[in-house]
Amino acid sequence: MKGFLQFGFEVAKVVIIALVIVVPLRVFVFQPFLVRGDSMKPNYHNGDYLIVDQLSYRFKSPERGEVIVLQFPLNPSQRFIKRIVGLPGESIEIKDGKVVIYEDQEQGGEAFALDESEYLPFLKDTSGSLRLNLQEGEYFVLGDNRGFSSDSRKWGVLPQEDIVGRTLFRVFSLEAFAKEK
C-alpha cells in the first residue's frame, strides 16, 4: 500500500509540474489555431493546425508579408488568419488589380507596387478598388486567396490590438496527407 501511495504522489508531482510549465506557455506564449476555410490557399489549407506565437509582437512590430492570426474586428470572438500587407503610416491603393504602397510622404517615402511573388507566385491580381491611409497602430491585411477572402478590403483596417500573434509553424491536416496519396 505504501508503494502505491508513493507512486500516486510521484504522478501527482509530475502532473503539477507539467501544469505549472504548460499552462503559462499556452496562455501567454503559444496558442493553437485551426485553419477554417480557403482564404489563405495555396499556403494554408482548411484543417491545417498552426501554432501561433503570441509573444514576439510585444518586442517587435509586425512586418509586411508575415502571416498572423487576428481577432475579427467586427466580431472579436472569431479568429482569422491573414497576411500583413500595409503598415502604420502608409497609404494603400488597390487599382487595376495591383496593390500599391505609398510610404510615409512626410519622410520622403515613395510609392511601389507590392511584390508578393515570393509567397504567391501565381497571383494574377487583387480585386477591388480603394485607397486608404493607415494611422499609427493600424494594419492592412489580405488573404492569399484573394477571390475568396474576407479581409481589409471588406471590413477596413486592422487595429494592432486585434493581432493575436504570428504563425510560428504549421502541422498539416490529415486531410492534406490523404490528398497526396
- What residues are labeled active site? 39, 82
Q: Alpha carbon 2 to chain centroid distance?
A: 52
Distance separating alpha carbons of residues 41 and 143, to the nearest angstrom? 8
- In b/e form, how buried is each residue of 124-150, taking b as 16+ CB within 10 angstroms? eebeeeeebebeeebbbbbbbbbeebe
Radius of gyration of the chain from its Cα atoms, rounded to whole angstroms: 21
Q: Alpha carbon 1 to chain centroid distance?
A: 53
The single residue listed with the C-alpha cell 508513493 is: 6
The single residue listed with the C-alpha cell 490590438 is: 161
